[in-house]
Amino acid sequence: MRKLSIAPTLAAAAVAGVFAVTVAFVLDPVALAQDKPAAEKPAAPPMTDQEREIAKRIYFERCAGCHGVLRKGATGKNLEPHNAMKLGQRRLETITALGTDGGMVNFDDILTKEEITIIAKYLQHPPDVPPEWGMKDMMASWKLIVPPEQRPKKQMNKYNLANVFSVTLRDSGEVALIDGDTKQVINIVKTGYAVHISRLSFSGRYVYTIGRDGLTSLIDLWMEKPEVVATLKAGIDARSVDTSKFKGYEDKYAIVGTYWPPQYVITEGDTLKPLKIVSTRGITVDGEYHPEPRVASIVSSHIKPEWVVNIKETGMILLVDYSDIKNLKTTKIESAKFLHDGGWDASKRYFLVAANAVHKIAAVDTKTGKLAALIDTKRIPHPGRGANFVHPQYGPVWATGHLGDAVVTLISTPSEKKEHAKFKKYNWKVVQELKVPGAGNLFVKTHPKSTKLWVDLPQNPERELAEANFVFDLKDLSKPPVRIDVAKDAGLPEMKAIRRAVHQEYNNKGDEVWISVWAGKTDPSAIVVYDDKTLKVKSVIKGPRIITPTGKFNVYNTQKDIY
């Protein structure tokens, strides 16, 4: 067993997270209650300028996503110096190296021993605060590489664009566009570092990517060789982007949400020119001011000219009406902390999002503009977009996995179909928990044409779990899931680092599943394609330019919000 066994108060961190720490299990409570004279208080370990620069890079790349730029915590625990110093250098190094049984990944095969020592020191010093990023900065960063009038008037290539995949190559700061029919790479384009998601315009022509470095890239799929046509640095750190999809506003606007500064920006849809910036700093659902309420996720409504904007630290869900951006109207809905990822139910009326620090799912009725339900779940739900299917006993359900528990939770969702009226009594209740071999799930995925539910466990510290996927038969959920050894099927050489099988994505027909085998930056990685019906390998996509693949976004499924 690689993981560090600790008290259950230790919360899990997500993909970018490190050091989800608590102090309750380290020091004697009596000693904590006694104030020490100033001279006896521990001092932060000294650091050289070079060590500090190394630590700043590591913290941004691996830690800030869960713990925040200011280290006040969210999915991961508060890592301000007074907490880190109570843990001490040795304990911080141990937790960083081995991970935890709460779902935090081990970093001893990602960071060197020297880097682990450096980051443990850094946490005991005050955090570095990046600069603000306003309209002047954005306009200076905006690059219109190919103006709309110079772009093609029709599709200039012969690719089946509905089945093209936009694949994040995390550590190279690139996106691979792959033909889903032939499995050949169409192009690899430079984007922001560690692209978090790709989103599609309503028309399916444009791909929008958002890097963790705040760089938004606009890719035109109609070009003979699809390429980036515009970029905008919307902030220092970011995770979310989407477009306007309501009738009459198709492809007109885009919205980019940032982690730092905590704000979102509305841009022109076909150029990324920034039009309006809105700060998200403010009061939490607990009535306290928070200086860093990050924009966690954004989705575009299909029934109104609105975006659903989820603010992590405040627990507020914003319905932003983009019909008049000069006089912006926003509905603020109180839910719970700390909001993360989520997705639509099958009807696309209700949006469900994880408040993962308090182990809840918040459901918003976008038709009425009100909170529909707040559902208790097992520890640290992490749905990605979730998965929708019709349960034989409970009707329409939406599924989420968990970073902190070994189950997949099924929640009954409303339906206006007559044949589903008998299931109304179950709505917004947890109707079943499917057991999986361990915690550490990031994504669950199915497709309307599939009878399978695929579950990954990339955050589990055990190799045999992190390198596999587990597949449930939706026709008989009483059966245990089938284990698929994705890393082995990739045919990669054995290596010390765990090769994490992550982010399942269907093709547009719903008969193939693509899974990333995410290895180290200098190690070979791959994408394994499975037949959804037989669970047999159909293809392996690999090569020297397939570097650390993570998220994969099928054009049609992303365009239509199919999951």
Sorted by sequence, the CB contacts under 8 Å of residue 263 that are 6+ apart come out as 235, 257, 277, 278, 279, 280, 281, 295
Q: If you ran DSSP here, which 8-state letter would residue 82 be given?
A: H
Q: According to DSSP H, which parts of 468-525 are helical? A: 486-489
Within 499-536, strands assigned E span 500-506, 512-518, 526-531
pTM of the model: 0.87
Q: Which of 1, 47, 63, 135 is catalytic?
A: 63
End-to-end CA distance of the chain: 34
Q: Is 199 helix (H, G, I), strand (E, B) or coil?
A: strand
3-class secondary structure for 311-378?
A: ECCCCEEEEEECCCHHHCEEEEEECCCCEEEEEECCCCCEEEEEECCCCEEEEEECCCCEEEEEEECC
Selected catalytic residue, list 196, 340, 402, 447: 340
Identify whether 63 is a catalytic site residue: yes
| Structure-token match 């055990």, residue found | 462
User: Quick check: is 82 catalytic?
Assistant: no
Q: Which residues of 114-146 are buried (b: 16+ CB within 10 A; e: fewer)?
A: ebbbbbbbbbbbebeebeebeeebbeebbebeb
Catalytic residue among 67, 290, 402, 447: 67
> 223 catalytic, yes or no?
no
Give the per-residue pLDDT at 104.
66
Mark whether 135 is an active-site residue: no
Domain boundaries along the sequence of the chain = 29-122
* 372, 363 Cβ separation under 8 angstroms: yes
What distance in Å separates the CA atoms of residue 256 and residue 233, rounded to the nearest whole number? 10
Is domain 29-122 annotated with CATH 1.10.1740.10?
A: no
377 vs 407: CA distance, rounded Å: 10
Q: Quote the CA–CA distance of 469 and 527 in Å, as a whole number.
A: 13
85, 104, 138, 223: which is the annotated catalytic residue? Answer: 104
Q: What's the chain's length in residues?
A: 563
pLDDT of residue 62: 84
Q: Which of 196, 382, 402, 503 is catalytic?
A: 382
Q: State which residues of the chain have pLDDT below 50.
A: 1-39
Q: From residue 101, how far is each of 90, 237, 409, 457, 499 by CA, in Å?
A: 18, 28, 20, 13, 19
Residue that the structure tokens 């998220």 belong to? 551
State the Cα–Cα distance between residues 313 and 291, nearest whole angstrom.
9
CA distance 455 to 387: 10
Q: What span, in angstroms and rounded, lies between the C-alpha atoms of 186 and 176? A: 8
